[in-house]
Amino acid sequence: MAASKADSKKADKAPPSPAKKAPPPPPPLPTIDHAAHRLASLLALPSAAELSASKPGAAEQGPAALPSGAGRTVRRWLSSSIVNKCRAVSYDKLIAACKRLLPANSEVAAVIESGKVGGGMDVDEEADDLTSCPSGLPHRLAIPALEAWMASLAINSILSVDAAAAFALSANLLGAVGKSAATSSSTYTPPALSPLIARLYRFRALAAEKSGSVGAVQPELVHALRLSTLSRAEEVQATLLNLMLRYYLAEKNIDAAAKLAANTTFPEGASNNQLCRNLYYSGRIGALRLEYTEAFSKLTLCLRKAPTNSGLAFRVVVNKLLVVVQCLSGEIPPRDTFFQAGMIKHLKPYLELVTCVRRGDLTTFSTVVDKHSAVFEQDGNASLIGRLRHTVVKAGLRTLSLSYSRISLADIAQRLGLGSAASAEYIVAKSIRDGVIDGIINHEGQFLECKEGQEIYSTIEPSVAFNRRIQWCLETHNTAVKGLRYPEDAYADSKKKKKKGEEDEKTDEEIAQEIEEELAEEEDEF
Amino acid sequence: MKSLLNDLHNLVSGGSSADLAQAGDLIDDIKVELISFDSLPPLLYSTPNAAEERSLAASALEYGAIVAVMMEDMELFERNMNQLLPIYTSCPSIPLSSLKRKVQGLNLMFLLVENRLSDFHCVIEGYSPEDLADPQVDFPVKLERELMVGSYDKFHSAKAALPDTLYEFFMKSLLSTVRDNVADAMEVSYTTLKASDAQRMLMFDSVDEFKEFVGDTREDWLYQGCEICFRATEVNGKTDIPSMRLIGQTLSYATELERIV
C-alpha cells in the first residue's frame, strides 16, 4: 500500500519538474536528488573561493572568517520550489534517497533508516530509482548539509503520523548531525548548516509540543542556545530564542519570557520569518506588561515585515493582537484593518468589540465580551480585553463631555452603567486628572460642568504629533536603506549609468530643499 | 522536617507576637534545611522523594509568607514569595495546599500596594481559571480593576468584604495610595468643596485625621470657612514654547535629511 501511495506521488510530481526547468537531463531525476544536486552545486561553487580566502585567516571560528554567504545560499535554496516539493516525499523514498546521496558510513542515514515506522519497502522501485540517478554522490563539501536536510525531512514526514516517534527520532538525528558536522573538515560548515540545524530544532520542538513533552526539551534548548551563541550560528540562535519565547508564553510564564527577551539580543542576520515571529512574541509580552506603545510599534513592524502572500493565519493573529493593543492605548484602529482579504470572518468579533469601545457603551461591551469569550480565550487575548473596560469608560465619558455643557452625575452613571452617582463622581474626577476630559465638578449640585474644548493649535500638541511622524518616516527610510541588497554585477552597470544618476541626484536635492522649506514653514507656525 | 512544620503550624495559629518571632526563627532554620534538597528549583533533580520534598518546601515557604504578613514585614514577604513562586511554576504537580490560594492572593495585594502593575498582570496571566475563581485571588483582581477605572468608592465596600484578616495589612497601605490619588483628582476637578464632603471622599473617619492629612501633604489647600478652595495656587499663564526642544528636533531633521541627500 505504501508503495502504491509513493507511486502515485511520484506520478504527481514527475510532470511539473521538467515543465518548470526545461534544461535538466531527459530521464527525470527524483525530486530529492534534483534538489540535493542543486544544493551541492550551490555550495561547491562559492565555497572554493571562500575557503581559499578564509584559510590565511586560519581562525576557523572567528567572526570574520565565517562567510555568511553560505548561510544565505542555503536559506534561499530551502525556500525554493523544488525543496518545498520534497516535503511530501514518503519515508521509504527518503531512505532510498539517503542510500543514493549519502556516503555508506553516514550515521545520519543509519538513524533515518532506523526511524522507519511500519510499511514495507518496495525493492524494485528503489532499484529503479538508483538506475535513473546518473551523477552518483554529490560534492563532498555538501554532505553535512545534505545530511541535516534529510534529517529534517525525516522528522517532518513522521511528525504528522506519530509525534512521539518523531520526538524520539529527532533527538538521535540531532546528535548524529552534530557529530557529522564536527568531524567534517570543511571550514564553511557552520554557517551553511545553520539554517538546516535551526529547522531541525524547530521540528523537534514541534514534535515535543505535539507529544506533550515540551518541558523536557527546554533545558536542551537552553544548552543549544548557549552553543549557537558562542559559535555565532545566528539562524539557530534566532530559532531557539523564538522557540523558548513561544514555550514561556504558552506556559503563561510571562515573567520568564520578558526576562529572556530583555536579556538576549535577537541576532541581526536571522531570516525575516524568524524576525517576524520574534517581533510578534515581544509585542505580546509588551502588551501583557502594560507597555502598549512598545507593543504597538513591534506589532506594526511585524505586520510590515511579514510576507504578504502567505502566512495568512499568522497575520490574522498579529492583527487581532494589534487591534486590542491599539484600543488599550486609547486609539481606535482604522476600519480597513477589519476588511483585509481573508481576515473578515476572523476579525469580526474584534470589530464588534472596537465598535463598543468607540461608542463607550459599557453594557454592550460586556455582552460582546460574553458572547465571544470563547474566541478571545482561544486567541489568548481574554485578559487583555478584560482591561479594556477602563478604555470604554473613558471613551464614553469623552463623548458625554463633548455633547453636554452640563450633565448630572446620576445621568453619567446611568449612561455608562457605572452603578452609582458616587462612583461616577470618583471616576469623573480621575478622568479630569488624567486629562481625558476637561471640566469642573460641582459637588453641591451633583453635576459636571464641561469646559469648551481648548483650541488644539494653541498647544504644543501638533508639534509633538508632527515630530512623531517625521521620526517614523526617518526610521523607515533608514531601515529601508539598511535593507537594500545589491546584485553582484550592479557596480559595472552603475558606472555606465553614472551620468543619468547625477541628474537624478539633482532632482533629489531639489526635492529635499522643498521639503526643508516646508519644514521651516511649519516650524514657523509654532 | 515534618515536626518542624508542625511546630510552625502551631505557632502560626497561636498568633501572639512571641509566637510569631519564634516562627520567624523556625522558618530561617527550615530554609537552611531546604538548601540540601536537590529537587527544588533551580536544580530540579528528580530524586526519589522529590515530590515530598517539594511540597514540604512549598508549605514551609507559604507559612513564611504568612508570618511575614502577620509581622507586617513587606521585604520579608517579598523574599519568601521569590523563593516560593519558582516552586509553583516549575513543579505544577505538587498537591494543592490549603494556603496556596491565600498566598497567591496576598502576593497580588503586595504587587498592588507596590504599584508594580505590570508584574501584577504578568502574575495574573499565569494563573489558571481555577486559581482565578477563588475568592482569595479574585478579590485583588477585582480591586485592581475598580482602582484602574477610578471607582474609589468600591474600595470602601471592598474593605468590608475582606476574604481574610491577613488582607487588612495590605489594605491599610493601599488606602494611603488611594487617598493620594483621590486628593490629586479633587484638586483639579473641584473649585471648592465642603470640608465634610472632602473628608468623606477621602475616607477619613474623624475630622482630626483629615486635618492632619491635609496639613501634612496638601499645604496648598486653603480653608475658607467650612469650604476648601483648591484653585488658589494655580497659575493661569500660558505655557512657554519649549524652544530648546524644538531647536533640537529641527536640527535632528536637518542632519537626517542631509544624510538622505
Q: Sign of the CA dihedral A321, A322, A323, A324?
A: positive
According to the model, what pLDDT value does residue A286 have?
A: 93
The model carries a pTM of: 0.76
Sheet bearing A439-442, strands edge to edge: A406-408, A447-450, A439-442
Q: What share of chain A is helix, strand, coil (3-state, %, to 5)?
A: 75, 0, 25
Contacts of B128 (CB under 8 A, 6+ apart): none
| Contact check, Cβ <8 Å, A289/B257 | no
How confident is the model over A394-417, as pLDDT tens digits?
A: 888 888 888 888 888 888 888 887
pLDDT at site A246 = 92
- How many folded domains does chain A comprise? 3
Interface contact B126-A254, CB threshold 8 A: yes
Looking at residue A2, what is its pLDDT? 40
Question: What cell was used for A139?
Answer: 560534492
Chain B residue with minimal CA distance to A506?
A: B261
Q: Distance between CA atoms of B167 and B177, rounded to whole angstroms?
A: 16
Is A526 part of the contact surface with chain B (CB cutoff 8 Å)? yes
* Residue A296, pLDDT above cutoff 90: yes
Task: Decide if A426 and B250 are in contact by the 8 Å CB cutoff.
Answer: no
Q: Is residue A35 part of a domain?
A: yes
Query: Which residue is closest to A253 within chain B, CA to CA?
Result: B126
Q: Are residues A179 and A316 in the same domain?
A: no
What sign results for the dihedral spanned by CA atoms B88, B93, B97, B101?
Answer: positive
pLDDT of residue A49: 43
**Listed range (A224-228, B15-19, B203-207) with the worst mean pLDDT:** B15-19
Name the minimum distance, in Å, from the CA of B2 to any CA of chain A: 30
Q: Give the model's pLDDT for residue A299.
A: 94
State whether A77 and A178 are in the same domain: yes
Helix (H, G, I), strand (E, B), or coil: what is residue B194? strand
B4 within 8 A of B30, measured Cβ to Cβ: yes
Q: What is the pLDDT of residue A493?
A: 60
Q: Which residues contact B49 (CB under 8 A, 6 or more apart)?
A: B39
Question: For residues A320 and A346, is the Cβ–Cβ distance under 8 A?
Answer: yes
Type of residue numbered A377 = E
pLDDT classification of A48: cutoffs 50, 70, 90: very low
> Which whole number is the average pLDDT over A210-226?
84
CA distance A74 to chain B (A): 34
Q: Given an 8 Å threshold on Cβ–Cβ distance, is A430 in contact with B185?
A: yes
Which of A288, A390, A444 lies closest to B122 in CB terms? A288
Query: What is residue A491's predicted lDDT score, i.e. its pLDDT?
Result: 63
C-alpha dihedral (A336, A337, A343, A345), degrees to nearest 10: -70
Tell me the nearest-neighbour CA distance from B8 into chain A, angstroms: 31
List the grid coordinates of A118: 511500519
Give B193 to chain A, closest Cα distance, Å: 7
Res B9 pLDDT > 60:
yes
Q: pLDDT tens digits, residue range A54-83? A: 444 333 333 333 445 667 777 777 777 777
* Alpha helices per DSSP H over B114-193: 117-126, 129-133, 135-149, 152-160, 167-189
Residue of chain B minimizing CA distance to A464: B246
Q: Is residue A494 one of the residues assigned to a domain?
A: no
How far off is chain A from B180, nearest CA to CA, in Å?
A: 12
Q: What percent of chain A has pLDDT over 70?
A: 73
Residues linked to residue B228 through DSSP beta bridges, in sequence order: B193, B223
What confidence tens digit (pLDDT) does each residue in A475-525 have? 888 888 887 877 666 666 666 655 555 555 556 667 677 777 767 666 555
User: Picking from A243-252, A453-462, B160-169, which range would have the lowest pLDDT averaged per residue?
Assistant: A453-462
Tell me, what's the pLDDT at B156? 78
Tell which of B89, B120, B122, B238 to mutate to test the A interface (max A CBs under 10 Å): B122
> How far is the C-alpha of B187 from the C-alpha of B180, rounded, in Å?
11
Q: Which residues of A375-409 are buried (b: 16+ CB within 10 A; e: fewer)?
A: ebeebbbebbbebbbbbbbbbbbebbbeebeebbb
Spatial separation of the C-alpha atoms in residues A260 and A264, rounded to whole Å: 6
Whether A427 sits inside 8 A of B197 (CB atoms) is no
pLDDT at A188: 46
Q: Which of A112, A93, A110, A100 is nearest to A137 (CA)?
A: A100
Average pLDDT over residues A201-209: 86
Domain-located, residue A223: no
Gap from A426 CA to chain B (nearest CA, Å): 6
Distance from CA of A399 to the nearest CA of B (A): 17
CA distance A435 to A427: 12
* pLDDT at position A15: 41
CB contact under 8 A, B190 and A443: yes
pLDDT of residue A220: 86
pLDDT of residue A371: 92
Q: Nearest-CA distance from B203 to chain A in Å?
A: 12
> Which residues of chain A from 3 to 32 reach within 8 Å of chain B, CB to CB?
none
Question: Which CATH number covers residue A432?
Answer: 1.10.10.10
Provide the greatest CA pair distance for chain B. 79
Report d(CA B168, CA B11) in Å as an integer: 20
Same-domain pairing of A353 and A426: no
Amino acid occupying residue A526: F
Place of cell 493620594: B180
Mean pLDDT of B159-181: 85
Contact list, B190 vs chain A (CB under 8 Å) = 429, 440-443
Query: Which of the four pLDDT bands, split at 50, 70 and 90, describes residue A352?
Result: very high
Rounded to 5 degrees, what are φ and ψ at B224?
Answer: -125, 95
Which positions ≥6 away from A147 have C-beta within 8 Å? Answer: A102, A106, A108, A109, A176, A177, A180
Predicted pLDDT at B239: 61
B87, three cell numbers:
516552586
Taking the C-alpha atoms of residue B236 and residue B28, their distance in angstroms, rounded to an integer, is 59
What is the 3 state secondary structure string of A269-334? CCCHHHHHHHHHHHHHHHHHCCCHHHHHHHHHHHHHHCCCCCCHHHHHHHHHHHHHHHHHCCCCCC
Closest residue on chain B to A478 (Cα): B260
Which residues of chain A from 470 to 489 reach within 8 Å of chain B, CB to CB? 470, 474, 477
CB contact under 8 A, A290 and B241: no
Looking at chain B from residue 41 to 70, which residues have their Cβ under 8 Å from any Cβ of chain A?
A: none
pLDDT (mean) for A241-247: 92
- Segment among A114-128, A185-199, A453-467, A496-510 with least mean pLDDT: A114-128
**Residue A202 falls within a domain, yes or no?**
no
| Interface touch A258/B191, C-beta < 8 Å | no
With a cut of 80, say whether residue A421 has pLDDT above it.
yes
Report pLDDT for A143.
72
Whether A2 maps to a domain, the answer reads yes
Chain A, chain B: beta-carbon pairs less than 8 Å apart: 117
- Collect all residues of chain A within an 8 Å Cβ-Cβ radius of residue B119: 255
How far, in whole angstroms, is CA A83 from its chain's centroid? 21
Average pLDDT score, chain B: 82
Per-residue pLDDT band for B219 (boundaries 50, 70, 90) equals confident
| Mode of pairing for the β-strands spanning B222-224 and B227-229 | antiparallel
Say what the pLDDT of residue A457 is: 79
Q: How far is CA A165 from CA A118, A161, A211, A241, in A?
A: 12, 9, 9, 25
A 29-58: CB under 8 A from B: none
Interface test with A, best of B188, B197, B234, B240 (most A CBs within 10 A): B188
Mean pLDDT of B28-43: 80
A319 confidence band (pLDDT: 50, 70, 90): very high
What is the structure's pLDDT at A5?
41
Q: What residues of chain A lie within 8 A of the CB of B189, using their CB?
A: 428-429, 432-433, 439-441
CB contact under 8 A, A430 and B181: yes
Q: In sequence order, which residues have a C-beta less than 8 Å from that of residue A42 and are 6 or more positions away?
A: A73, A74, A77
Contact call for A515 and B257, based on CB within 8 A: yes
CA distance B96 to chain A (A): 19
Could you list the residue range(s) of the whole structural domain that residue A98 is in?
Answer: 1-44+68-117+141-161+172-185
Average pLDDT over every residue of A179-191: 60
Nearest to residue B146, comparing CAs of B106, B126, B174?
B174
* Candidate from A34-43, A434-443, B127-136 with smallest mean pLDDT: A34-43
Cβ contacts of B176-185, under 8 Å, gap ≥ 24: B177/B113, B177/B115, B178/B147, B178/B152, B178/B203, B179/B203, B179/B213, B180/B217, B181/A430, B181/B152, B182/A426, B182/A429, B182/B152, B183/B213, B183/B217, B183/B218, B184/A433, B185/A426, B185/A429, B185/A430, B185/A432, B185/A433, B185/B150
**pLDDT value of position A285:** 93
CB A82 within 8 A of CB A17: yes
Cell numbers given for B94: 505538587
Of residues A253, A418, A470, nearest to B89 (C-beta): A253
Tell me: ipTM over 0.85. Answer: no
What pLDDT, on a 0 to 100 scale, did the predictor assign at position A129?
45
User: Are A100 and A150 members of one domain?
Assistant: yes
Phi, psi of A104 (to 5 degrees): -60, -30
Helix, strand and coil percent figures for chain B, each rounded to 5:
70, 5, 25
Among B residues 177-216, those touching chain A with beta carbons less than 8 Å apart = 181-182, 184-191, 193-194, 197, 201
pLDDT score for A406: 87
Pairing mode of beta strands A406-408, A447-450: antiparallel
**Residues on chain A touching B118 (C-beta within 8 angstroms):** 289-291
Is residue A249 in a domain?
Answer: no
Indicate yes or no: CB of B125 within 8 angstroms of CB of A440. Answer: no
Residue A498 has what pLDDT?
57
Q: Give A390's contacts in chain B (Cβ within 8 Å).
A: 145, 148-149
Q: Name which of B111, B117, B109, B114 is nearest B167 in CA terms.
A: B109
Spatial separation of the C-alpha atoms in residues B215 and A377, rounded to whole Å: 49
The pLDDT assigned to A500 comes to 54
* A390/B contact by beta carbon, under 8 A: yes
Say if strands A447-450 and B192-194 run parallel, antiparallel, or are unpaired.
unpaired
In this predicted structure, the answer to whether residue A16 has a pLDDT above a threshold of 70 is no
Q: How many residues does chain A have?
A: 526
Report which of B210, B148, B209 is spatially closest to residue B181, judged by C-alpha positions.
Answer: B148
B82 touches chain A (CB under 8 A): no
What's the mean per-residue pLDDT of chain A? 76
Residues 318-357 in A contacting B (C-alpha not used; CB under 8 Å): none
Whether B191 sits inside 8 A of A440 (CB atoms) is: yes
Assigned domain for A78 exists: yes
Asked whether residue A325 is assigned to any structural domain, the reply reads yes
A463 in contact with chain B, both atoms CB, cutoff 8 A: yes
Tell me if A474 and B256 make a contact (CB, 8 A cut-off).
yes
